[in-house]
Copies of this chain bind each other. A is one copy, B any other.
Amino acid sequence: MSTAPEGYDPHAFVPFAVTVDLAVFTVREGRLHVLLVERGEAPYRGRWALPGGFVLPRESAEEAARRELAEETGLTRNSVCALHLEQLRTYSDPDRDPRMRVVSVAYAALVPDLPEPRGGGDAARAQWWEAGGTEPLAFDHDRILADAYDRIGARLEYSCLATAFCPAEFTLGELQQVYETVWGVELDRPNFRRKVLTTPGFVQAVDGPPRRTGGRGKPAALYRAGAATALHPPLLRPEGRPEGRTS
């Protein structure tokens, strides 16, 4: 605990390195993508990994995560503040890093549009990868990524954060595609619409003319994210699978 044992010796504890790992998701062309960086050093040289880095002496893990997020995505610190960032869980297996004892706090981030990644400070290359098609990652990042998928999918059921994947103004069709992409299922359009519109605070209509997408059909009305964060009653996935692993 934070509460060190009673008669504790300041040197009784082993020094750990504490890092953050980020699973940064976006929806791109109707498919879920995750941001990975290529490792330029041993171990796992040449393998892809989740972006991340050390927690600095005077910052919290969340601050470290936002700092790394800004570095990897090339966004300004301010715009990173608006992004949805959520602590996933902490990975602490003694052998998860062959070099030393590293405990890592994992975060999931949802970003709306698709800012082309620019290689962050210390990463060789950064690139969006389609979810599911990622080769084996470095360290225990396959596990972290799998946990992140589960969590995001479950969060869509009980929260309104699907809008975090959308730009400031979006159509209900775009919002529906977020659900379909993350869950990998097709949803009935009128039913989805009814659910979203009857949930107070999920979305709020933008007045003004509907946007013409330049695409085919009837132009869709535009909405913004509403004030609600929780979704009640939940919007459950078809085929009723609950929350990935029950952990």
Q: Mark A201-238, 1 if CB is under 8 A from B, else 0.
A: 00000000000000000000000000001111110100
Task: Determine whether the beta carbon of A6 is less than 8 Å from that of B232.
Answer: no
Residues of B within 8 A of A90 (CB): 61, 87, 89-90, 105
Are A2 and B242 in contact, with the CB atoms below 8 A?
no
Residues of B within 8 A of A242 (CB): 158, 230-232
Q: With the chains together, A56 CA to B101 CA distance in Å?
A: 11
Do the beta carbons of A53 and B5 come within 8 Å of each other? yes
Tell which of A12-20, A26-34, A177-185 binds the partner.
A12-20
Whether B159 pairs with A246 at a CB distance below 8 angstroms is yes
Contact B58 A141 (CB under 8 A): no
Does residue A51 face the partner (Cβ distance < 8 Å to B)?
yes
Size range of the chain A interface in the assembly: 35 or more
The answer, yes or no, to whether A243 is at the interface (CB within 8 Å) is yes
Given contacts A1-B20, A17-B13, contact A57 B94 (CB under 8 A): yes
Q: In this assembly, does A126 line the interface, its C-beta being within 8 Å of a C-beta of chain B?
A: no
Q: Could you mark each residue 27-61 of chain A with 1 if its beta carbon is under 8 Å from any beta carbon of chain B, else 0?
A: 00000000001011100100001111111111111
Is A93 in contact with chain B by the CB < 8 A criterion? yes
Bound Cα distance A58, B90 (Å): 16
Number of copies: 2
Do residues A57 and B101 form an inter-chain contact, with CB atoms below 8 A? yes
The answer to the question of A129 belonging to the interface, with a C-beta cut-off of 8 Å to chain B, is no
Q: Is the CB of A17 within 8 A of B16?
A: yes
Chain B's nearest CB lies how many Å from the CB of A101? Answer: 7
Contact of A87 with B2 in the complex, beta carbons under 8 Å: no
The answer, among B6, B14, B158, for a CB contact under 8 Å with A243, is B158
A189 to B121, CA, bound (A): 60
- Which residues on the B side are within 8 Å of A12 (C-beta)? 54
Q: A60-B92, A101-B57, A242-B158 are contacts. A22–B6 as well, Cβ < 8 Å?
A: no
A sample of 26 inter-chain contacts (CB < 8 A) reads: A1-B20, A1-B21, A1-B22, A2-B21, A2-B96, A2-B104, A3-B53, A3-B138, A4-B17, A4-B19, A4-B102, A5-B53, A8-B122, A10-B100, A13-B18, A15-B16, A16-B55, A57-B94, A86-B247, A87-B89, A89-B89, A158-B242, A229-B246, A230-B242, A230-B243, A230-B246
Closest 3 CB pairs of A and B: A1-B52, A15-B15, A230-B242
